Amino acid sequence: MSSIKEENGIINLNTNFLRLNLTKILKEHMGETIYITKQRILVAELKAYTEEEKKEAEITIAKMLIENSNMNDEKINDEEW
């Protein structure tokens, strides 16, 4: 019996197979979201980000940090005077 079945673009995996081969599966499906369900109820969502997506996320986080630090500086300056 195969551990992998594919129907309508959905890959069904045996839980033990998923545990043993998680890294391999994430690498094969890099950039795709993997949904883990139990009895057709969503229990987890995994995604291995590509290098481009990682850089984009880092830039977004850096921008948010800069904006927040600027707002905090303004609040501190207003409070001091």
DSSP state string for 40-54: TEEEEEEEPPPHHHH
> Would you list the domain boundaries of the chain?
4-47, 50-81
Express each pLDDT in 36-50 by its tens digit: 888 888 888 888 888
- CA 69 – CA 8 distance, rounded (Å): 48
- CA 2 – CA 34 distance, rounded (Å): 20
Over pLDDT 70: what percentage of the chain? 84
Q: What is the pLDDT of residue 3?
A: 63
**48 within 8 A of 57, measured Cβ to Cβ:** no
Name the pTM for this structure.
0.52
Q: What is the pLDDT of residue 1?
A: 45
- CA 65 – CA 59 distance, rounded (Å): 10
